[in-house]
Amino acid sequence: MERHNWTKQEILEIYNKPLMELLYEAASIHRMYHDPNTVQVSTLLSIKTGGCPEDCGYCPQAARYHTDIEGNDLMTVQQVKAQALRAKASGSSRVCMGAAWRNVKDGPEFDQVLEMVRTINKLDMEVCCTLGMLTENQAQRLAEAGLYAYNHNLDTSEDYYKDVISTRAFQDRLETIENVRKSNVTVCSGGIIGMGEKLEDRAGMLVALSTLNPQPESVPINALVAVEGTPMEEMEPIPIWDMIRMVATTRIVMPKTQVRLSAGRTEMSQEGQALCFFAGANSIFAGDKLLTTPNPDVNQDMEMFRKLGLKPQGAFEKAPQPATIEEEDSKISAKGENPRWTRPDHKIDRNEKARARTKYSN
Query: Which residues are designated catalytic?
Result: 52, 56, 59, 96, 128, 188, 260
The conformational region for residue 147 under phi > 0 = left, psi -120 to 50 = alpha, else beta, is beta
Closest among 257, 192, 190 to 222, alpha carbons compared: 192
Instruction: Report whether 52 contacts 62 (CB < 8 A).
Output: yes
5 burial (CB, 10 Å; 0-12 / 13-18 / 19+) is: exposed
Helical (H) or strand (E) element with 95: strand 94-99
Query: ∠ CA 198-204-208 to the nearest 5 degrees?
Result: 155
Angle between helices 170-181 and 136-145 (to 10 degrees): 50
Q: Which residues contact 86 (CB under 8 A, 6 or more apart)?
A: none
Residue 224, CA distances (Å) to 37, 217, 234 in order = 27, 22, 11
Cβ contacts of 108 within 8 Å, gap of 6 or more: none
